[in-house]
Each structure stands twice: as C-alpha cells, then as structure tokens.
Amino acid sequence: MASEGFDIKRGLKDVYFDTTEASFIDGDVGKLLYRGYNIHDLAEKATFEEIVYLLLYGDLPNQRQLDDFNVEFRGSRSIPEEVINVLRVVKDCHPMDALRTGISALSAFDPDVTDNSIEATRRKGIRLTAQAPTIVAAHHRIRNGLDPVAPNPGLNHAGNFLYMLRGAEPTEDENRLIDVDFVLHAEHGANASAFGARVVASTLSDLHSAVVTGVAVLKGPWHGGAAEEVMKMALDIGQPENAEEYARKLLDSGGRVMGFGHRVYKAEDPRARHLRERSQRLGQEKGQPHWFQILTYLEQNVMAPYRDRGIFVNVDFFAGSIYYLLEIPDDLFIPIFALGRIPGWTLQCMEQYSDNILLRPLLEYTGEMDLEYVPIDQR
C-alpha cells in the first residue's frame, strides 16, 4: 500500500481553484450576488432575460440593449427538425436524458460549434439557453403522443416554455412563477455541474460538450434532482399529521430529507425565501394548502435541530411544490433547473476559456505496489 499522508480535500470541500466574477456566495450568512447584484433584488425585480444579459455581458441592460438582446434571444428558439427526430427516437427516456441528448444533437447544426472565442461562446450560450426549453417541451409532447408546438416569439422566455409544453398560453402569474424560478437558478459558483462544465472547457473542448456535462452532473438527487425527491416525499406523506413519523423513520434509518443542507450554505439558502412565499400563496390559490403545511412542518419541527449543524432548507425545498401546483410532471423538475442554469454554465466556460488552465487534480494511490505479472494460464 502506498500512502504518503497527503492533505486530501475529499469532495474538494473548501478548495478554491480559481477566481470568478459570476457570483458571490457567503454561506455563513446566506448571501448570494450575481455579478454584484443581490439575489433578493433580482428575484423580486428582474426578469430572466435581464439576468441572462447581466451574466453574459457583465451588466444589467438598458431598455434598448434588452430589446436588441430579445430579438436575438427569441429568434434563436427553434430547433432543427433533425433534432426533433432524435427526440422521437429517445422519447421513452427521462426528460433530463432527452435534454442532454438534444443539446448534444444541436452541436451538429451550430455554426460556431468549434469556435471557443469569448464572442462565439456567448452566442452559443444565448442560443442554447433559447433552444433548451424547445427541446424539453418537444420531448414532453412527443412522449405524450402530441406534436411539438413551435416557439411563440410574442412571449417571454418563461411564458414561451409553458406555452410550448402545454399548447396554451400561461396566466401572468404562472409565467412570473417560472420566470422567478429561472432567475433563482441562473448561476451558483463552483457547484458540481458548473465545475463539471469548467473541467470540460479546461481541455479546450466546446460549449455544447460542457453544457451536456452540466446537464449530466445536475441530474443527480444530491444536486438538481432534490426538488423532484422533495415533492415525492410530500406526496408520500400526504397530510401534515403524517410528516413527523415519516421523516423520523427516514432520518433514523440514515436517510436524508431532500431539500435540506448545502455544501456552501450553513445558513438558509437565500433563494429559498422567494420560493417559500410563492409556494404558500399558490397552494392557497389552488385550494391545496397542505403541501406547504407538510413542508413547513418538516422545516420548523423535524429539521429544526439540524440548524445547529448548519443544515437549513435549500433552493429545492419549495420549488417542487410550485411545479406540482402548476401541474408540471415531476420528472420535468430537474430539466427546469437546467433551463435556468445554462447562462451560468456558459459564463463559467467563458471565464475558463479567457484564462485557461487544465483542471486536473491528483488522487492518492492506496492500492498494491509493484506486483508481479502472472501469465493467464498460471493464475
């Protein structure tokens, strides 16, 4: 056994590997800034379109800049018929797998695919952000035996996504709920999927490959998959009075309550606040207040002692209930997170390309050493 006693940072906990201007996170107080702007202001006042511009161009747009940007952004939503055909072939897979496959297929049609300049990466990031909802909506309709709905250039990003999914325009409230959700998910430092995307970019591979990786990494239940798991748990619990017993059993058997805990936040995830209020209001409006009551019971009772260990609700805890109340199927919850996150992955790749260094850490070898090769007939 070779063991040199290296200082191993398992899970890369607390490791800084580069600098960024994308977002600032203070996990001790629960503070999040996108390019210097507080998430609380952005969630309440900004649209997703402004956030995409802010992240990819470096500052909030004025009206003329936003109008020009929207012409490009809304005009990029269509996907080639060949990609729709690929989605037909994979129609039975999980929507996250369809999104990953669809983005991969789009690379065959993007004129800038091999150009890793900052300008081309930004153009591709805008296109991918615009096209990804079309993939998710088209796949969802195909798997339900319906024809895909063409994008509607008269609608904003969030509204157009719901329109392509359902074939009918959403209400203003539904539109804003998804818009805020996209805003809250747009960028979040060196989280696992952004790190995965940066590793890809660091080999000078292209943005489509990096975004495919981002989608693949996000899929796991310890990352983007938590919202789906939270709602499954709430459905299993059924009524607030069952929450205590259910969660105790889960925790006593070594399980985790999804939607709690975060590698960086040791206070409440600042994004959760905006979804908590909306989950409560939507539940009342829809005559289904019990989902919020179940979640609140878990938060305020079962998980209260965990606060001393720095475990609070994260962004995913209330998100699932909002999607559920909007009648969005649970396997679309993670793709919705991904749709919001593409600008963040793009920006992080732009940062990586602009001052690149290969991301390549080390593993300490703990296996056998210098074994003698034994011919196969003598083993």
Catalytic residues: 262, 316
Segment lying near ligand CMC (by CB under 6 A), choices 46-54, 155-163, 197-205, 260-268: 260-268
Q: Rule CB under 6 A: is residue 256 a binding residue for ligand CMC? A: yes
Figure out which of the listed residues 31, 40, 94, 263 binds ligand CMC, where binding follows CB under 6 A: 263
> Which residues, listed in sequence order, are joined to residue 23 by a DSSP beta bridge?
34
Please calculate the CA angle 368-374-376 and round it to the nearest 5 degrees.
Answer: 125
The separation between the first and the last C-alpha atoms of the chain, rounded to the nearest angstrom, is 22
Instruction: Of 354, 347, 351, 352, give the one whose Cα is nearest residue 56.
Output: 347
Smallest distance, ligand CMC to C-beta of residue 174, A: 23
For residue 308, give both structure tokens: 């001393």
Does residue 58 come out as left (phi exceeding 0), alpha (psi in the -120 to 50 range) or beta?
Answer: left
Instruction: Give CA–CA dist 23/61, Å, rounded.
Output: 18
In the complex, what is the shortest distance from the CB of residue 44 to ligand CMC, in angstroms, rounded to a whole number? 21
CA trace torsion 42, 183, 131, 170 (10° rounding): -100
Alpha-carbon distance of 219 to 339, in angstroms, equals: 12
Judged by CB under 6 A, the chain residues 147 through 206 that form the site for ligand CMC are 188, 191
Distance of closest approach, residue 262 Cβ to ligand CMC, in angstroms? 5
**Nearer CB in complex with ligand CMC: 138/258:** 258
What is the distance between the alpha carbons of residues 293 and 342, in angstroms, rounded to a whole number?
32
Interface residue with ligand CMC among 105, 258, 282, 339 (CB under 6 A) is 258
Interacting span for ligand CMC (CB under 6 A) from 84-92, 109-117, 153-161, 223-231: 223-231
Stretch that binds ligand CMC, among 82-90, 175-183, 219-227, 232-240 (CB under 6 A): 219-227
Residue with smaller CB distance to ligand CMC, 181 or 316:
316
Phi, psi torsion values for 23, nearest 5 degrees: -145, 155
Contact pattern from residue 339 through residue 368 relative to ligand CMC, giving x for each residue in contact according to CB under 6 A and a dash for the rest: ------------------------------
Q: Distance between alpha carbon 30 and the CA centroid of its chain, in Å?
A: 19
Phi first, then psi: give them for residue 291, nearest 5 degrees: -65, -45
Among the residue ranges 41-49, 307-315, 327-335, 361-369, the one whose residues contact ligand CMC (CB under 6 A): 307-315
Nearest 5°: phi and psi at 34?
-100, 120
Q: Which is nearer to ligand CMC, 126 or 215 (CB)?
A: 215
List, in sequence order, every residue forming a beta bridge with 260; answer none if it has no partner.
313
Which residue lies nearer to ligand CMC by CB, 99 or 315?
Answer: 315
Where do we find the tokens 């088209």? 138
Applying CB under 6 A, which of residues 83, 217, 226, 325 lies at the interface with ligand CMC?
226
Closer by beta carbon to ligand CMC, 55 or else 257:
257
3-state SS assignment for residue 190: coil
Stretch that binds ligand CMC, among 74-82, 159-167, 250-258, 353-361 (CB under 6 A): 250-258
Smallest distance from ligand CMC to CB 40, Å = 18
Residue with the two structure tokens 């049609």: 109
Among 31, 94, 223, 266, binds ligand CMC (CB under 6 A): 223
Binding footprint of ligand CMC on the chain (CB under 6 A): 11, 188, 191, 222-224, 226, 256-263, 311, 314-316
